[in-house]
Chains A and B, each alone.
Chain A
Amino acid sequence: MKHTISVLVENEFGVLARVAGLFSGRGFNIESLSVAPTLEPDTSRMTIVTRGDDRVLEQITKQLNKLISTIKVVDFTDEEFVERELALVKVTAESDSRAEVLRIVDIFRAKVVDVTPKSYTVEITGAPAKIDAVLVLLTPLGIKEVVRSGPVVIGRGSKGVAS
């Protein structure tokens, strides 16, 4: 089963390697990982998407907590949360397909952020499934390059995940 985990960590030397090494060393898999500092510059927040049964997830959570650099671990799987991913897509857009690309961009409330005579670069945000859907539609038109950020999540409601 897919799980999305937020990990608050000390923003310090080697912390990403510690987390990544823990997953590889114990045979857990990482589907995606995104990381950046929070409002407090000494704290970073990672969002990790992983897969595993309950036993594996229990170990992942415990092992993450065991790292000295880990401040807090939240598994969002059983919670209400908002999930967003960003993708930048460079898509072929020559005379006959330019309008079609723009139509798709419009339908998905995406944005064109760079234009050349032969291509559009499109910015899409949304749940990963939405990005998948856009890519399915853009693929026949010719995708030159895709970059996805991996999802970030935040819990619904007024309560925050404090460090």
Chain B
Amino acid sequence: MFGSESLCVLQGRDFSEETSLKLTGSQILLESLRLEGVETVFGYPGGAVINIYDDLYDSPIKHILARHEQAAVHAADGYARTTGEVGVVIATSGPGATNTVTGIATAYMDSIPMVIITGQVPTALIGNDAFQEADICGITRPCTKHNFLVQDLRDLPRMIKEAFFIARTGRPGPVLIDLPKDIQVASMKFSYPDTVKMRGYKPTVDGDERQIGKAAQMMLKAKRPVLYVGGGASLANADPELLKLAELLQVPVTTTLMAMAAFPGEHPLSLGMLGMHGTYFANMAVTECDLLVAIGARFDDRVTGRIDAFAKKAKIIQFDIDPSSIHKIVRVDLPVVGDLKSVLTSLLRQLDEKPQDISVQIEQTSAWRKEISGWKAKHPMGYQASKSVIKPQYVIEKLSELSNQDAIITTEVGQHQMWAAQFFKFRQARTFLTSGGLGTMGYGLPAALGAQVAFPERQVIDISGDGSFQMNSQELATLVQYRLPVKIAILNNNFLGMVRQWQQLFFDKRYSQTCMELPIDFVKLAEAYGATGLRTDKVDDVENVIKKAFEIDGPVLMEFKVSREENVIPMVPAGKGIHEMVLAS
């Protein structure tokens, strides 16, 4: 066994040359994590990972003890989304492993790089229905980018190397390593591979120059172009290139929920979000455009509405890292497969060679921008303000106004999530963490936790609803234990608001099981964990509560009693085209 000092001494060495030196499987795991640059892991101990936790006791790797494995995964996800690094989770076998599934599926749907290490019963017991045994490789096969069951200690270093490589390259995603207990205790000489050799995995990086040239031509010819930007742009850190492209050609930009922070919300070319709860002008622009340029966006049904009405006047260019995203939902006219940062850089280079064409293009698209300004003036984003009751949108506006430039916002799922997307003005990339694909309630608090671990000095705010908050509220304990000063803003309407809204609009106000009959005292709940709780139901108090929360050096839960039956507007009813919006409640 190695103490922390001796392990540090070992770290610089090539263990393969140390004839007498053997490491156990769990030591090899931790040493490999360290060599991958992992500083922090999130997790929860248990019988099948007890050896790993024993070695962790002496390791320089920092471990954050969540209060539920699902939350540990969301926290690692939040860490990954803000930093761009691979988030790492450790959980035990059986229930520990199955508890990670929702977190893994959340990360998979949003293409978040993660490595999840689960303990497994000893290899000899696999398949015997042993205590705390679950076939987690079988369970997570459809919601991981790849997974491994380690059957031989000699495979472990290679598998860890491959897991990190797979997680962070191409279209990123979660990778799970299932590590049986007997392999954790077995030992061998350790050397970590420098490279990976996988015959079946060679992600494309650079786009085809000729295709990019054609894209440039199409963009220089279009009279009514729109950029439709998705989460892929954030994942590729392509936000600076995106901004350059939009400004160079003066093309309006609409973003999906996943890309709200990839383009500045207050930029004159910003159209905000499109789709089911998109802005009037974004949805009209997409409907009326003659060229739609999809950048790391996958034509999700919440974005497109009725598919045969979506951008039907437009030629479509699609830039994406994942070949299987091309033509999946919509037949596109010009696909370009590659890393978006590389592809947009080469697109900009090709455009830069044609300064005259660019000025002609800006000239010929000015009528289009004017038309869009008309739509903006006709139906701006807004809501009916009130002096007597707190409007949830007002709270978001105030949070946007009073928070720092680099504040990180997380959300749960539901009405508050849509209001956050609609009314918060995002200013820089990787500052909006939300479960877009899977739509996981309970994501926001642990994701905020992970983001705060990554950036202890920045403001991290979880915008939450009273329903979602209760799905992972136990993480208040983690915040307090690690002194993570996350600010939580609960927009409490005592309803599962989004479902209630659908029931109001489409089910004759039959509010089946959406009214939270029991009012929770969230302030007391925060205090029970040792956090600060603040509450208000007065419009005039909102600003003070937020300011006060920001001043307190520790986790603060703000409870805003908001108008109960507020609706998220605009709304495209299911089955309608995105131009067929309901614009008033």
Contacts and interface: CB of A to CB of B under 8 A. Distances in A.
Interface in A46-91: 55, 58-59, 62-63, 65-71
B137 A68 contact: no
A6 B68 CA distance: 43
B151 A163 contact: no
B141 A59 contact: no
Interface residues of B, number: 20
Contacts of B201: 68
**For A14, A17, A18, A68, which residue has the most chain B Cβ atoms within 10 angstroms?**
A68
Given A14-B149, A21-B141, A21-B142, A63 B200 contact: no
A65 B328 CA distance: 14
A5 to B, nearest CB: 15
Interface string B135-158: 001100110011101010000000
A9 B200 contact: yes
Given A59-B324, A65-B323, A66-B322, A17 B138 contact: yes
Contacts of B166: 68
Nearest to B143: A25
**For A10, A13, A71, which residue has the most chain B Cβ atoms within 10 angstroms?**
A13
B199 A59 contact: no
A25 B138 CA distance: 13
Contact of A10 (B199, B322, B327): B199
Given A17-B138, A163-B199, A68 B324 contact: no
Contacts of A71: 199-200
Contacts of B323: 62, 65-66
A25 B142 contact: yes
Contacts of A21: 141-142
Contacts of A65: 323-324
Given A18-B141, A68-B166, A13 B149 contact: yes
Contacts of B141: 14, 17-18, 21
Contacts of A14: 137-138, 141, 147, 149
A97 B340 CA distance: 70
A9 B201 CA distance: 11
A68 B145 contact: yes
A135 to B, nearest CB: 36
Contacts of B326: 62
Interface string A1-30: 000000001100110011001000100000
Contacts of A17: 138, 141
B142 A70 contact: no
Nearest to A26: B142
A34 to B, nearest CB: 20
Nearest to B142: A25
B151 to A, nearest CB: 7
**For B141, B146, B166, B326, which residue has the most chain A Cβ atoms within 10 angstroms?**
B141
A62 B149 contact: no
Contacts of B1: none
B198 interface: yes
A13 B135 CA distance: 13
A9 B327 CA distance: 25
Contacts of A63: 324
A58 B151 CA distance: 35
Interface in B368-423: none
B200 A68 contact: yes
B301 to A, nearest CB: 15
A74 to B, nearest CB: 14
Interface string B187-202: 0000000000011110
B151 A67 contact: no
A71 B197 CA distance: 12
A137 B387 CA distance: 86
A21 to B, nearest CB: 5
A68 B328 contact: no
B324 A62 contact: yes
B200 A67 contact: yes
Contacts of B137: 13-14
Interface string B512-543: 00000000000000000000000000000000
Nearest to B162: A68
Given A13-B151, A68-B145, A59 B138 contact: no
Contacts of B145: 68
Given A21-B141, A21-B142, A68-B146, A10 B200 contact: yes
Nearest to A64: B324
A43 to B, nearest CB: 8
Interface in A143-163: 163
A69 B142 CA distance: 14
A137 B585 CA distance: 70
Contacts of A18: 141
Nearest to A14: B137
Given A13-B151, A14-B149, A69-B200, A55 B142 contact: no
Nearest to B138: A17
Contacts of B200: 9-10, 67-71
Interface in B267-323: 322-323
Nearest to B147: A14
Nearest to B327: A58
Nearest to B166: A68
A63 B327 CA distance: 12
A55 B141 CA distance: 24
Contact of B324 (A10, A55, A66, A163): A66
B127 to A, nearest CB: 13
Contacts of A9: 200
A18 B137 CA distance: 10
Interface in B217-254: none
Interface in B432-447: none
A66 B145 CA distance: 9
A13 B146 CA distance: 12
Nearest to B148: A13
A68 B324 CA distance: 14
Contacts of A10: 199-200
Given A66-B322, A68-B198, 8 more contacts: A10-B199, A14-B137, A18-B141, A65-B323, A66-B323, A69-B200, A71-B199, A71-B200
18 contacts: A10-B199, A13-B137, A14-B147, A17-B141, A18-B141, A21-B141, A21-B142, A25-B142, A62-B323, A65-B324, A66-B322, A66-B323, A66-B324, A68-B145, A68-B166, A68-B200, A69-B146, A163-B199
Which 3 residue pairs across A and B have the least CB separation, nearest first?
A62-B324, A68-B146, A71-B200
